[in-house]
Structure 1
Amino acid sequence: MPLGVVVRKTPGVTRWAKWNWRAVAVLPGAGPADWVELRREGDAVEYHAATLPLTLWASDTEAYRVNLADAQPSIYLVLREEVEGDGPLHAALVTASPFEGQDYADSGEDIVEKIPMTEGLIAWVRDFTLKHHREEVFVKRRRDKSRVDLVEDGKGDARIRQDSDVYRAPRRAAQ
């Protein structure tokens, strides 16, 4: 599903950050856009930053269930610093998986914004999850029966000849 992303630019509160960028809304089914100005209120400006495809995967239904169980189900937007081009930031990805959003946030290179889902989007993700989710059966791992404690390999110092005290410090050779 094409998903438009609305990003709000406000003046920064510190001298180190001139502007504060925050994703505020999604537009399901939006057409293509590249930083189109939607609204201006003083210094605050809202942009339709980009339209990205939201793809749901049958293998990620457990993550979608976690997202839908949250008090406010959300879409996660991954923003990157723009190296080349006209826009201030590059909208790289939208996902409904909180696990994937966390993976991008862990790198520290990307900005991950959490945007509340609309009611229609919640219903779409829920219907997909109900249709494709399969519970995974827990399989307990069995221990290997081989005895690894019977061989004393690498014990002690090889320079000590007798077996009586393998932990003793070696002596200097007589000269």
Structure 2
Amino acid sequence: MQIGVVLRRSPGVTQWARWSWRAVAALPGAGSADWVLLRQDGDVSEFHAATHTMELHGADTESYLHGLHAQLPCLYVVMRATEDDQRPFDVVLVTASPYEAQDYCDSGEDVVEKIVMPEVVKAWVRDFVTRYHTEEVFKKRKRDKKDVTRVEDGVGDPRIKQLVDVYRSPVSAKKERLQ
């Protein structure tokens, strides 16, 4: 589904940030756009920054389900800062998966904004989850019967005869023998 992203520019509240940018709306079924001015009210401006194709994947249905059951279902817009003052962000991705959005938050290089999921998108995602989601049964792993108290596997070097420092390198033991 084509999703247009609306970004709002408002004056910054500190001397270090001239402008404050936020993703404020999603436009389902929008045509292509490249920073089209939608509305201006004094110093506050809203731009249709970009339109991206949002894809749903069968392997991510658990994540979509988690997002739909949130108090307020949201879409996530991933943006990357640019050097251009007229187009300060590139919209990288629009997703309905909170797990995927979290992955982009981990890098620290991208800006991830939450916007309210429009009803038509919510219905589309819900229909997809209903059609493709299968509940996975939890399988508890069982321990093998190996007795782990008998041998210390991988501890120290067998070439070292001294038991007090089993982590010492064999090179230093060889030097001591030569002296």
TM-score for the superposition, normalised by structure 2 = 0.84
Matched residue, 2:171: none
**Structure 1 residue matching 2:129: 3-state secondary structure:** helix
Matched residue, 2:15: 15
- Offset of residue 71 of structure 1: 1.0
Deviations 1:83-120 (A, max 9, x none): 46952110000000000001101111100000001111
Pairwise mapping of residues 1-175 of structure 1 onto structure 2 (< 5 A)? 1-83=1-83, 87-152=87-152, 154=155, 158=160, 160=162, 166-167=163-164
Separation in structure 2 between the aligned mates of residue 26 and residue 148 of structure 1, nearest angstrom: 56
**Structure 1 residue matching 2:15: 3-state secondary structure:** coil
Separation in structure 1 between the aligned mates of residue 81 and residue 99 of structure 2, nearest angstrom: 22
5+ residue gaps, structure 2: 166-175
Separation in structure 2 between the aligned mates of residue 44 and residue 53 of structure 1, nearest angstrom: 27
- Structure 2 CA distance for partners of 1:152 and 1:35, relative to 1, 3 Å: closer
5+ residue gaps, structure 1: 161-165
Separation in structure 2 between the aligned mates of residue 21 and residue 113 of structure 1, nearest angstrom: 10
Deviations 1:105-143 (A, max 9, x none): 111110000000111111111111111000111111121
Matched residue, 2:170: none
Matched letter for residue 59 of structure 2: S
Count matched residues.
166
**Structure 2 residue matching 1:99: 3-state secondary structure:** helix
Matched letter for residue 26 of structure 2: V
Separation in structure 2 between the aligned mates of residue 77 and residue 138 of structure 1, nearest angstrom: 32
**Structure 1 residue matching 2:10: 3-state secondary structure:** strand
Greater helix proportion: 2
- Offset of residue 147 of structure 1: 2.1
CA RMSD of aligned residues (A): 2.3
Deviations 1:40-93 (A, max 9, x none): 000000000000011011110100111011111000000101146952110000
Percent identity for Structure 1 against Structure 2: 53
- Offset of residue 151 of structure 1: 2.1
Moved more, 73-82 or 86-95: 86-95
